[in-house]
């Protein structure tokens, strides 16, 4: 039950991140790259996108 909830939260966060990528002013190639990163590595890709992605927080 707990694992299912965590998986659902990750799925929702990844979908939200991908939508934000497509709304950004980044180039098409960057959008594709970010989307692939998020899809292939859901948790790590989301964290990387959140920290340094288009419109993300700058370190």
User: pLDDT, tens digit, for every residue of 11-56?
Assistant: 999 999 999 999 988 889 999 999 999 999 999 999 998 888 766 5
Name which of 17, 11, 3 is nearest 46 in CA terms.
17
Which pTM value belongs to this model?
Answer: 0.82
Residues 2-9, mean pLDDT to the nearest whole number: 92
| Cα dist from 15 to 2, 22, 33, 54, 59, whole Å | 20, 11, 15, 16, 23
| Cα dist from 24 to 9, 21, 34, 38, whole Å | 23, 5, 11, 15
Residue ranges of domains in the chain: 2-52
Q: Given this model, what pLDDT does residue 13 score?
A: 94
Q: Given this model, what pLDDT does residue 38 score?
A: 95
pLDDT grade for 2, boundaries at 50, 70 and 90: confident
């Amino acid at each position: 039950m707990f694992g299912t909830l965590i998986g659902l939260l990750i799925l929702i966060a990844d979908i939200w991140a991908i939508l934000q990528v497509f709304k950004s002013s980044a180039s098409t190639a960057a959008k594709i790259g970010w989307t692939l990163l998020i899809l292939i590595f859901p948790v790590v890709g989301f964290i990387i996108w959140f920290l340094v992605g288009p419109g993300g927080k700058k370190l």
